[in-house]
Structure 1
């Protein structure tokens, strides 16, 4: 029995495509005036949704280095990424042919130490520093919302 009988070819492809892996940077800084963390969010180039810098694997480069490279290229920020992922989230990556591919994203916290004036995707995205609560509201993926929330709890615990 074929479970795909009567289902369109594009939907069949979506179910048969393996989950792809990506790496992302959860970029943060501590606001001098308040001592509170701020999270960097940016808009995606295609849909304009609020996201964090992320990208595909780069050869044998470790995930935390890929995340740092994506943060530089997409948002012009430089910092020190943690070597271990802060967490993961999944989402559906829309491809040019209208098919969505499931992606699992390993997220690495990156404390931003500087910003550069010129970077690869300058002018192609909106970039903003916001509170963790605002970042949670802006991103669409429920798992990413939770990851940001749990990450921000690190700072509450150290002040409490």
Structure 2
């Protein structure tokens, strides 16, 4: 409960160097409709977007694309500018709060096998279902923002 309160307390946290994370917001346009790809977290099974630490020698968006490939088995065109950020927790006990920048990823390929396929579920959804399933309301707002950019 305290962690949830702290998430809403300030728009940004002073994330320690090396702990800031990057994530991808995988999407596709299917028959004129925007679809988003959600995955489950390994810790608690909540629906989310792929995310992780920014790897040394990689840009944040390259790391986001790598996370999408490893965690969701998708690849495509990643934006170099984030759609926004949200606050999440990191560390073995999830006691460190970090800001996570989210980069839109237009999915071009969905791979049949990928690194974390036995550890996570993946699920394509339209915006209304994304808003219902996403565990963090800020993630839902990011999906709404991207939807508005894509649809007009």
User: Which category of TM-score, normalised to the shorter sequence, fits these structures?
Assistant: 0.7 to 0.9
- State yes or no: 1:119 paired with 2:114: yes
Q: How does 1:4-153 map to 2 (within 5 A)?
A: 19=15, 20-32=19-31, 35-93=32-90, 95-96=91-92, 98-153=93-148
Task: From the CA coordinates, give the structure whose radius of gyration is larger.
Answer: 1
Contact 1:91 1:141 in 2 (8 A): no
Give the TM-score of the pair, scaled to structure 2.
Answer: 0.84
Consecutive unaligned residues of structure 2, counting only runs of 5 or more, are 1-12
Consecutive unaligned residues of structure 1, counting only runs of 5 or more, are 1-16
Deviation at 1:140, TM superposition (A): 2.0
Q: Tell me how many residue pairs correspond in the alignment.
A: 137
Give the TM-score of the pair, scaled to structure 1.
Answer: 0.80
RMSD: 1.6
Deviation at 1:77, TM superposition (A): 0.4
Deviation at 1:112, TM superposition (A): 0.2
